[in-house]
Amino acid sequence: MAQQLGETKAREEWGTRLGFVCAAVGSAVGLGNIWRFPYITGENGGAAFIVVYLLCILLCGLPIMIAELTIGRKAQSDAVGSFEVLAPGKLWIVGGVLGVLAGFFILSFYSVVAGWALKYFATAVSGSLWEIDKAGFGQFFGDYIAQSWEPIFWQGTMMAMTIYIVAGGVKKGLERWNRILIPALAIMVILLAGFSLTLDGAAKGVAFLFTPDWKKLGDPNVYLLALGQAFFSLSIGMAVFITYGSYLSQSSRIPVMASATAAGDTIFAIIAGLAIFPAVFAFGFDPSAGAGLSFITLPGLFQAMPGGMVVGPLFFLLLVFAALTSMASLLEVPVAFFMRVLEAPRGKIAIITGFVIFAIGIPSSLGFGVLGHIKWGDKTILDIMDFLMLNLALPIGGMITALFVGWAWQQQSVLSDVGLGKNVLGFCWLWLLKVVAPLMVLFVFLHKLNLV
Ligand code: PHE
């Protein structure tokens, strides 16, 4: 099939199953788990939000991840090419195009936040972060992101590292680096959580994460946020797993590997919460501090806690590594696409695409300073991008994938393609794709338009 698209060389493949799972978890675990999940959970009542989030993962996220991998493995092509192979001339291709575009835009603002993390890591290691007055972290952060050049420099550094990984290829770039960074990440987050849980007063933080306040479930916004977060955190809805699936061998067991990935991502988010909230409560900080949690609340916390000079750099290194592995997957989607369409070598395409995305991201960075007047309500350029991508592009992309696999594929064929067979599990998966996942996305959209 690959030949139909003019590919003559054999398609790259993952070296081992473990290598694939590391790369998939590397894509899923990122700023979404460590920066975004804790603050959204904090703002939305803690445990009740987590319950809704888990349902979104199970009913919507995991089935769509399995569907994306199945599309990629069957078609053996990139985001757009896969739809061309499986449904030539049909409109489904929109799903792939949207994925490539989302790759561009998400990576453009994601690299800005990743750059902040790298800057904080550098200042935490050099020690200058700890010279700031206890009450001054908010000011420091605000002043820093309002600058023009320095944040762009760190953003560019993160992009350069990402390009390096992707240019290395599937086995020698993505797989190799994820196999190093993912175990390192796991060790770091477990160490941080272990330390946080031993602090006096940690129990309040644990209770906050695990004792639901059911009243919160009456707020429909919670569902929108939970669904958007589930898509973002699992990296679904933008064809990362179509692209990654195309590097899988036919014998790999997609449902098992996808479940491992989704479980890894969710467990990681919860452990990140256990690293953050017990410490936040132990020192009497505010759990619902919003997006500034990682960059304002936590530095103050590290300064106040014993051992903070070690824990602080470790936390920001965690953030940097987690961001880097996700950025590599975001870049891989457009790179795989352009490699086929332009028939150009990987290295060249990775550099050019990475550079263009870096440039697109510059306004997101400047939106906190010289471009601060460009706003939509109270949203800065970065917030607008984040909002459009997470609440529109990813859910629409995910819905197209669910409907495509659920309705446009022959039931018989799809069950054998995914490797589930005609059993309860297979039919459950199909019905989640056919009905449940699309309805969940639809409901959330209608609500957003104030129609329900
Ligand atoms: N899943 C990543 C995170 O949690 C972000 C991401 C989204 C990566 C979409 C790839 C695709 O940070």
Is residue 72 within 8 A of residue 82, CB to CB? The reply is: yes
DSSP run (H or E) holding 120: helix 93-126
3-25 burial, b at 16+ Cβ within 10 Å, e below that, comes to: eebebeeeebbbeebebbbbbbb
| pLDDT for 450 | 66
d(CA 365, CA 203): 38
* Nearest alpha carbon to residue 275 among 234, 236, 322, 329: 322
CA triple 263-267-270, angle to 5 deg: 145
User: Is residue 31 lining ligand 1, measured as CB closer than 6 Å?
Assistant: yes
| pLDDT for 33 | 93
Query: For ligand 1, atom 9, which residue shows the shortest CA distance?
Result: 235
| pLDDT for 6 | 47
DSSP run (H or E) holding 139: helix 137-146
Distant-in-sequence, close-in-space partners of 215: CB < 8 Å, separation ≥ 6: 45, 48
CA of 335 to the centre of ligand 1 (A): 16
The tokens of 37 are what?
A: 């999940």
User: Is residue 235 lining ligand 1, measured as CB closer than 6 Å?
Assistant: yes
Q: Would you say the C-alpha torsion 63, 68, 71, 76 has a positive or negative sign?
A: negative
Backbone angles phi, psi at 376, to 5 degrees: -125, 105
User: Is residue 233 lining ligand 1, measured as CB closer than 6 Å?
Assistant: yes
CA-326 nearest atom, ligand 1 = 8
Of 326, 333, 335, the residue with max ligand 1 atoms within 8 A of its CB, to mutate for a pocket test, comes to: 326
How many structural domains is the chain composed of? 1
| pLDDT for 158 | 98
Amino acid type, 324: L
Is residue 25 within 8 A of residue 261, CB to CB? The reply is: yes
The tokens of 445 are what?
A: 């959209």
CA of 26 to the centre of ligand 1 (A): 9
Residue appearing with tokens 């060389």: 9
CA of 445 to the centre of ligand 1 (A): 21
d(CA 335, CA 203): 46
CA of 134 to the centre of ligand 1 (A): 32
Backbone angles phi, psi at 253, to 5 degrees: -95, 100
CA-394 nearest atom, ligand 1 = 9
User: Is residue 389 lining ligand 1, measured as CB closer than 6 Å?
Assistant: no
3-state secondary structure 233-254: HHCCCCCHHHHHHCCCCCCCCH
Name the DSSP letter for residue 390.
Answer: I
Rounded to two decimals, the pTM is: 0.93
List, for the chain, all residue ranges whose pLDDT scores fall below the cut of 50: 1-4, 6-7
CA triple 197-202-205, angle to 5 deg: 105
| pLDDT for 41 | 87
User: Is residue 106 lining ligand 1, measured as CB closer than 6 Å?
Assistant: yes
| pLDDT for 228 | 87
Q: Would you say the C-alpha torsion 321, 323, 326, 330 has a positive or negative sign?
A: negative
Is residue 294 within 8 A of residue 34, CB to CB? The reply is: yes
User: Is residue 30 lining ligand 1, measured as CB closer than 6 Å?
Assistant: yes
User: Is residue 27 lining ligand 1, measured as CB closer than 6 Å?
Assistant: yes
CA of 165 to the centre of ligand 1 (A): 16
Number of CB atoms found within 10 A of residue 411's CB: 14
pLDDT 10s digits, 221-236? 888 889 989 999 999 9
| pLDDT for 301 | 87
Residue appearing with tokens 């706003």: 375
> Any idea what the CATH number is for the domain that residue 147 is in?
1.20.1740.10
CA-330 nearest atom, ligand 1 = 10
187-217 burial, b at 16+ Cβ within 10 Å, e below that, comes to: ebbeebbebbbebeebeebbebbeebeeebe
| CA atoms within 13 Å, Cβ hemisphere of 452 | 14
CA of 55 to the centre of ligand 1 (A): 19
pLDDT 10s digits, 201-222? 999 999 988 888 888 888 888 8
d(CA 32, CA 192): 18
d(CA 70, CA 257): 12
Domain that holds residue 424: 2-448
| pLDDT for 1 | 44
| pLDDT for 9 | 67
Of 34, 181, 232, 320, the residue with max ligand 1 atoms within 8 A of its CB, to mutate for a pocket test, comes to: 232
d(CA 295, CA 193): 18
